Structure 1
Amino acid sequence: MKKVFVFAVVVVAVVAMEVAPTAEGVTCSPVELSPCLGAITSSSPPSTLCCQKVREQRPCLCGYLQNPSFKNYVNSPGSRRVASSCGVPFPTC
């Protein structure tokens, strides 16, 4: 439950911040990954929507890993499992 609360706080902080577009036209916003929250924090498989969002946000993952506010979430075992389940290689930044 503590992880969910912290994640929610981070999401609110991100919404308040300006989001940056990537060269590929994707708007980098960790809020877009919210459909994955259940799969990241439990052992449930990611939904189709979650995998779609992970694929869309793939160009942004290195930026999230370099941001101290998001690094622990993106680099967590649950996030790695979700990326693998969705067929998205974990970035090496």
Structure 2
Amino acid sequence: MKTGVSYLAFCLAVAVASTMLLEEAVLTHAVTCNPSALSPCAAALLSPAPPSTTCCARLREQRPCLCGYYRNPSLKKYLSGNGSRKIAAACGITITC
């Protein structure tokens, strides 16, 4: 009986470890930083229209890149204005660089 319990505990531990490794693989998905991926946000940046779901999805996808974009002098003007803060807030994204 003790061997059966040990085997079950081992199988459970392997299953948990496998699940954790698979989740880690998904979480470490590399993001390709491409500022043009944020083009769906242009309409919301240039008008009072709320950001589209595509804009919010792209913003979330590009989130690891945003601080790099902010450091780029040619892109900083788009990220430092009230419009970009409005879009981030509407998408539920906090940007801290």
TM-score, length basis structure 1: 0.71
| Inter-partner Cα distance in structure 2 for 1:27 and 1:72 | 21
Which aligned segments of 4 or more residues in structure 1 are displaced greater than 2 angstroms?
none
Q: 2:30, 2:76 → 1: CA distance? A: 23
- Sequence identity percentage: 54
Q: What are the ranges of 5 or more consecutive residues in structure 2 without an aligned counterpart?
A: 1-27
State the alpha-carbon separation in 2 of the partners of residues 34 and 68 from structure 1: 18
More strand by share: 1
Aligned pairs (5 A) from 1:3-42: 24-42=29-47
| Cα distance, 1:90 vs structure 2 | 2.1
Could you report, residue by residue, the CA deviation over 1:47-91 in whole angstroms, capped at 9, with x for unpaired residues? 000000000010001000101010010111111100110001022
The secondary structure found in structure 1 opposite 2:48 is: coil
CA contact (8 A) 1:84 1:90 kept: no
Between Structure 1 and Structure 2, which shows a larger proportion of helix residues? 2
TM-score for both structures, normalised by structure 2? 0.68
**d(CA) in 2 for partners of 1:24, 1:75:** 27
Q: Structure 2 matches for 1:47-62, cutoff 5 A?
A: 47-62=52-67
User: Residue 26 of structure 1 aligns to a residue in which SS?
Assistant: coil
Equivalent residues, number: 70
Give the aligned residue type for 1:90: I
CA distance in 2, matches of 1:25, 1:45: 28
CA 1:59–1:24 in 2, change beyond 3 Å: closer, same or farther? farther
Superposed CA RMSD: 1.2
Please say which structure displays the higher CA radius of gyration: 2
